[in-house]
Structure 1
């Protein structure tokens, strides 16, 4: 797939800016806080309908405006596709494909596939389990758009069960719940286990396919001196692909933690507490990995993502590199740049061009970004 044009209106610091991409590699160069990352964020929104930087749409709309719009023309094997996303300060969105407004997000997701790599991704290793779960979920949304609905359904059930537990905790004068509590909790237990099993099974499957790819890349980048393992650790202790087995394990774990949940007023069991374990040479990378090892690990994960999306979707995704070369030493820079070549359409931001050799510069489109204005 190839992104031909991107048009931003009242998005972040862009008033009205169109970019026509004319080469497989586009280098966006400029000082910090000029809008380079904002452009990549717009592409990320078209791919996942989410930003890894903010959670509220009003933070994406230009100050003083009520709406922002991102439109693009994407070339895929069947032909060109027009994408449009209108954001509102109120939070209500409008999405469309080929000028047709869509009622469901999952009909839009999967149209454009992209892998983003920024300095914030180092939190994949040293950050909280939630950071790794979010990374895994965003990959799954691109590979299987229905997963967005599955995850939303699970989170809605989780909120309702938490509200019940919290309400019962607040109103109960003793450690025992009212007589009708077991039946009401039992209903939400069954709902949570059914929806949660769907999340767990998909997470397990994608890690099973991603892990060997990441292992191979990590060996190549580290010169075979290190071994990377990526493990999925479901909170319910069961990652079998059989839905009945996962549901039964889920329900059994809920029973084990029932008393603790009643005292804390919150759900302690389920995929919202899963972990993705990253291990280098049998040592947890989060605790003991050096900065160099952590950078190598994240680079291997990102290259594995590219390979996995290409294998499943059948077309190469876009690669978004947000000021990441500054975080990599020359060896890792060369590994990344030599892997890209012209295989993936790449948008890369940088404050200077010294990291690129003449061959890269000659074959790239170079755009200067200054205060929300983009110039050739």
Structure 2
């Protein structure tokens, strides 16, 4: 797939900017805080409808404006697609494909695929379990767009169940009569049914992903280190069968009933899953050196590229946000060798010193200054 054009209107610090991509590799050159990362974020949103930098849509809209917009033209083997997203300060978002507004955002997903690699991705190793769950969910959404709907359903049921638990705790503290437990049992059944779908999909994708990441990790570390990726679900089940996982879920909910009612929150489910990375049987989060952590994240990103390509049948876009400075020469070379002209790549940098002459010759170089982009 190839991103031909990108148009930003009142998005982040861009008032009006049109970009035409003319090479497989585009280098976005500029000082910090000029808008380089904002451009990559726009592409990430087109691929996943998610941003790893913004919690609310109003953060994406230019200050003082009511709406922001991203439009793009994407070339795929199946034909050309026109994509558009409109963001509003009130959080209501509109997506359209080939000029038609889509009623379900789910139908927008899967048209464009992209892998983002930024310095923030080191939090995959160093951060908490939520960072790793979010990374895994974003990957799954690209591979199976319906997963976005499943995850949304799960989070809706989780919020409703938590609201009921909080209400019970408040009533208990106030000495008021408590509602019947049948109401909670209804939410339990829904949580287990939808939660088991999340668990099984996460387990399946990591089964496919793990060997790819191991292979890349061995190549980058010159076979001196062995990476293992282990899914540690909050609800472990002996069998990968829907009913077996649901029953394990319900059993654990029953075990934690008193603790949940005491704390007023749901303690069981995939919102408490963990993905464990170990290097030579040592937890990477606790003991990995900075070099080991960077090798691990690079291996994860290269494995994402390969997995998405094998599933969707086309190479995804690669978005590199100021990561070359984070990698030593060996890791830089491994990354640049892998990319070559296979993956359309957008890469941000503050200087061109990390690139050899051949790379520069085959790249489109765009300079970014205060939300304006111009060619070299």
1:269-348 alignment, distance < 5 Å? 269-348=268-347
- The answer for the alignment partner of 2:191 in structure 1 is 192
Shift of 1:176: 11
Shift of 1:256: 1.1
Name the SS for the 1:72 alignment partner.
Answer: strand
- The answer for the alignment partner of 1:353 in structure 2 is 352
Shift of 1:183: 1.3
- The answer for the alignment partner of 2:167 in structure 1 is 167
Distance 2:273 2:32 in 1: 36
Distance 1:34 1:183 in 2: 56
- The answer for the alignment partner of 1:86 in structure 2 is 86
Distance 1:280 1:239, change over 3 A: farther
- The answer for the alignment partner of 1:20 in structure 2 is 20
Distance 1:297 1:177, change over 3 A: farther
- The answer for the alignment partner of 1:260 in structure 2 is 259
Distance 2:193 2:273 in 1: 16
Distance 1:135 1:240 in 2: 25
Q: Residues 34-80 of structure 1: CA distance to partner in whole angstroms, max 9, x if unpaired?
A: 11000000000101111100111111110111111100000001111
- The answer for the alignment partner of 1:205 in structure 2 is 204
Contact kept, 8 Å, 2:115 with 2:304, in 1: the verdict is yes
Name the SS for the 1:181 alignment partner.
Answer: coil
Does residue 149 (structure 1) correspond to residue 137 (structure 2)? The answer is: no
- The answer for the alignment partner of 2:105 in structure 1 is 105
Contact kept, 8 Å, 2:171 with 2:177, in 1: the verdict is no
Contact kept, 8 Å, 1:168 with 1:177, in 2: the verdict is no
Deviation >3 Å, runs of 4+:
173-178
Does residue 49 (structure 1) correspond to residue 36 (structure 2)? The answer is: no
Name the SS for the 1:6 alignment partner.
Answer: strand
TM-score by length of 1: 0.98
- The answer for the alignment partner of 2:221 in structure 1 is 222
Shift of 1:174: 8.7
Shift of 1:241: 2.7
Distance 1:176 1:330, change over 3 A: farther
Shift of 1:231: 0.7
Shift of 1:182: 2.2
Distance 1:177 1:266, change over 3 A: farther
Distance 1:340 1:124 in 2: 22
Name the SS for the 1:80 alignment partner.
Answer: strand
Contact kept, 8 Å, 1:317 with 1:344, in 2: the verdict is yes
Name the SS for the 2:248 alignment partner.
Answer: helix
Distance 1:287 1:175, change over 3 A: farther
Contact kept, 8 Å, 2:13 with 2:62, in 1: the verdict is yes
Q: Residues 268-325 of structure 1: CA distance to partner in whole angstroms, max 9, x if unpaired?
A: 0000000000010000000000000000000000000000000000000000000001
Distance 2:34 2:104 in 1: 34
Does residue 5 (structure 1) correspond to residue 22 (structure 2)? The answer is: no
Shift of 1:265: 0.8
In the alignment of these two chains, the number of paired residues is 375
Name the SS for the 2:61 alignment partner.
Answer: coil
Shift of 1:173: 4.6
Contact kept, 8 Å, 1:214 with 1:300, in 2: the verdict is yes
Distance 1:176 1:304 in 2: 55
Distance 2:199 2:360 in 1: 44
CA RMSD of aligned residues (A): 1.3
Distance 1:213 1:50 in 2: 25
Name the SS for the 2:165 alignment partner.
Answer: helix
Distance 1:359 1:86 in 2: 38
Q: Residues 161-208 of structure 1: CA distance to partner in whole angstroms, max 9, x if unpaired?
A: 111111001101599983x53211111111100010010010001101
Farther off after superposition, 233-242 or 365-374:
233-242
Contact kept, 8 Å, 1:200 with 1:234, in 2: the verdict is yes
TM-score by length of 2: 0.98
